Amino acid sequence: MSILIINGPNLNLLGKREPTIYGSDTFEDYFQKIQEEFGQIDLEYFQSNHEGEIIDKLHEKGFNIDGIVLNAGAYTHTSLAIADAIAAIKSPVVEVHISNVFKREQFRHHSFISSVCVGSISGFGLDSYRLGIEALIRVNKKI
């Protein structure tokens, strides 16, 4: 089974970026842990600060892998183009957020991508990604 994690803008700064909200672990360290934990799964990781690059990656991988865990960062709240790309591909996409976006500013409460994802996970810190992978394992068992 193959799963791709995509992180959007500013998530390359995890560990340094607003640690009271996003924690002090780097994504690279966390990714190493989950690779060990889900040893039977072919896990890939991609990060970009550019909307078009995220769309290109969804197109490239979205017809040949078993699922995508996507934290689109602030593009969640702005990008119809990413929503259209998710709708266009075949692989199921789980939306994840590190913080609980519903406890935060009003502008973070709306997501353009929720309605085209299989589901959304928000507020569990970096464990949101782990839960996203678990969700995709279950989704794939039903296919």
The binding site comprises 71, 77, 84, 98-99, 108
Indicate the residue among 13 and 88 with the shorter CB distance to ligand DQA.
Answer: 13
- Which of 69, 101, 126, 133 binds ligand DQA (CB under 6 A)? It is 101
Q: How far is CA 127 from CA 86, 89, 92, 137, in A?
A: 23, 26, 19, 15
Instruction: Select from 43, 98, 113, 135 the one that contacts ligand DQA (CB under 6 A).
Output: 98
> Cα angle at 28 between 36 and 104, to 5 degrees?
110
Q: Provide the annotated binding site for substrate.
A: 71, 77, 84, 98-99, 108
* Residue 118 interacts with ligand DQA (CB under 6 A): yes or no: no
Q: What is the 3-state secondary structure (H, E, C) of 87-110?
A: HHCCCCEEEEECCCHHHCCHHHCC
Looking only at the bridges linking them, the beta strands covering 2-7 and 93-97 are unpaired
Which two tokens mark 24?
């002090």
With binding defined as CB under 6 A, does residue 130 bind ligand DQA? Answer: no
Segment contacting ligand DQA by CB under 6 A, of 60-68, 72-80, 82-90, 129-137 = 72-80
Asked if 59 is an active-site residue, the reply is: no
Looking at the Cβ atoms of 1 and 127, the one nearer to ligand DQA is 127
Dihedrals phi, psi of 81, to nearest 5 degrees: -65, -40
Query: Which residues are the active-site residues?
Result: 22, 97
Interface residue list for ligand DQA (CB under 6 A): 10, 71, 73-74, 76, 97-99, 101, 108
